[in-house]
Structure 1
């Protein structure tokens, strides 16, 4: 498979590089931001280069299943300059597959799946935004690879590829430090496609250009934290764990108490070892880790509403000391409680 060129931060060398084509494939009811977000990053890189007296590096192409108008999920219409059958792709091309409501039909579209399979070995890079990963998975292109997608699609993605390595908290799986892994890649929910595009710009044109683009778009070059900070932490419902239903309903009302394995076992009327086994079988985790996640979710709610100080939140949610809360936040959300409160707190 063709591999990307190593990052080059030298302006003169960058100017000498041949241009790079970026093709984003739209389909009915694709999410507009999955398309326009990444493409604006590449367009802004061209604008920054223009102000530096350099030629544009990226040639942007909006393609559709067929040439012509495509209605996106928000009702916006875009015009695809090419249909898949009209596209002729050179090696120096990046192809992006967006997600959106229309992915339910797009992932089962035989023409799109066959096209993706055909171009994968020919282009320099092939990636997806959000639930667009389902198209790559159904085409057999994610087998054995690390992958992510929108947090609500992770389980579906895991069932579509063999030996897939799901990382639900990564914003994207593009890694410029490991060229062998960057031919095919995925990104998480919606705006993570912008994070992905910034990383591609950094690989193509150097960190200085990525910083300039991020500054122009008022965004992080590398966003702190992963997508877990934007999603519900506890996906398991009590209906999925019938033997634990009463215990799971009881735990949130006792977060400030001692919720060790002995206390949980007594409440569930089960021996501790049996309780641990049932948790693993029905929820895929241990009692201790489950309690920690419930406590983190409760802390998230309090911090986002700014109802109490961090020290008070730590005490109310059963962490005791703020340092324990900080460690759990970093482990679960990859951000500190203070950073979370500043970023997402109301008021």
Structure 2
């Protein structure tokens, strides 16, 4: 049930040198906008917002400008704090090596009502051991790293955040969010639990965004990076595949091109890329389809044919499997409207 009491919740976000600025200001703006919407209804502000860091004062971000920290994190009264968020950014790896930060997070876990992360900040929570046995996500480019370094964490790659107040499909106490703007999705979910759907929806409208974005972070990411892990045995084949998407890319055809048996090619793909040749081909076709669907002149039927899916229904099923949206929904969201030509 939403909490409609007038008690103010303190939300503190940890910033650090080379932090991703949007990881800090994005979620905090959601809570600030919730305050605005509540005041419009004649209700009291619900959130006190703090940026905390190694010291009060300017904090250099990865963008080359500075944010201003209100408070040294050591001076934050954890018993009076509702939610602590850990931002991500280029400075994350340095924080992972700091025992003082990790010990403080362990104390915070036992004191604050909610402890969460934005983007790669999840790696700091994982380093502190706070994600062991829990579902977690992080920026798509660091999911493999988290999976490798923290095997006790249940890494969910295509998920915008792992917060769920009910505890049925996530965690109400310790949670994570995916790449950058997913911190905004997380903050909206917290506001909805605190003050109901109407306030959360009003905030989403004010910020011109979805209350709940359909799909996961895969639809916004560079979905496939084939060069990583590829050996010389596959290099030529991987360069050849994108130019043949509407042709025969069966296992047998790929094996002939690579000069291997089908069984050997399957083994090399699995060893070097962690997937079968068929799954790799489907991902490349999806990447090509995503690019074409951003052109308003392209129909779903034509994209399906050009990318080797043949029928639009086959393309639709592939998009639902990988991106959790239909091709038409993707085109509607990411398509470029033609510019008006002056006459």
| TM-score, normalisation: structure 2 | 0.92
Within a 5 Å distance, the mapping from 1:236-275 to structure 2 comes to: 236-237=226-227, 240-275=230-265
In structure 1, distance between residues paired with 2:138 and 2:98 = 19
SS of the residue corresponding to residue 338 of structure 1 reads: helix
The number of equivalent residue pairs is 336
In structure 2, distance between residues paired with 1:238 and 1:211 = 41
Q: Is the 8 A contact 1:172 1:188 kept in 2?
A: yes
Give the corresponding residue for 1:235: 225
Q: Which one is further off, 152-161 or 290-299?
A: 152-161
Give the root-mean-square deviation of aligned CA atoms. 1.9
1:49 equivalent in alignment to 2:38: yes
In structure 1, distance between residues paired with 2:156 and 2:228 = 25
1:200 equivalent in alignment to 2:190: yes
Following TM superposition, by how much is the alpha carbon of 1:102 offset from its aligned partner in structure 2, in angstroms? Answer: 2.2
Following TM superposition, by how much is the alpha carbon of 1:292 offset from its aligned partner in structure 2, in angstroms? Answer: 0.6
Q: Which one is further off, 48-57 or 122-131?
A: 48-57
In structure 1, distance between residues paired with 2:30 and 2:70 = 20
Following TM superposition, by how much is the alpha carbon of 1:340 offset from its aligned partner in structure 2, in angstroms? Answer: 1.7
In structure 2, distance between residues paired with 1:155 and 1:162 = 10
Q: Which one is further off, 232-241 or 22-31?
A: 232-241
1:24 equivalent in alignment to 2:23: no
Q: Is the 8 A contact 2:21 2:67 kept in 1?
A: no
In structure 2, distance between residues paired with 1:145 and 1:231 = 24
Following TM superposition, by how much is the alpha carbon of 1:76 offset from its aligned partner in structure 2, in angstroms? Answer: 3.4
Q: Which one is further off, 154-163 or 221-230?
A: 154-163
Give the corresponding residue for 2:73: 84
Q: Is the 8 A contact 1:241 1:283 kept in 2?
A: no
Change beyond 3 A, Cα 1:275–1:174: same
Where does structure 2 lack aligned partners over 5 or more consecutive residues? Answer: 338-343
Residue number among 95, 108, 129 corresponding to 2:97 in the alignment? 108
Q: Which one is further off, 84-93 or 201-210?
A: 84-93
- Residue by residue, what CA displacement relative to the aligned partner does 1:118-173 show, whole Å, maximum 9, x if unpaired? 21111111111011111111111111211111112222222332321112211111
Q: Is the 8 A contact 1:25 1:64 kept in 2?
A: yes
Following TM superposition, by how much is the alpha carbon of 1:254 offset from its aligned partner in structure 2, in angstroms? Answer: 1.5
Following TM superposition, by how much is the alpha carbon of 1:273 offset from its aligned partner in structure 2, in angstroms? Answer: 2.7
Relative CO higher for 1 or 2, CA cutoff 8 Å, sep ≥ 6?
Answer: 1
In structure 2, distance between residues paired with 1:276 and 1:74 = 43
SS of the residue corresponding to residue 74 of structure 1 reads: coil
Give the corresponding residue for 1:72: 61
Give the corresponding residue for 1:304: 294
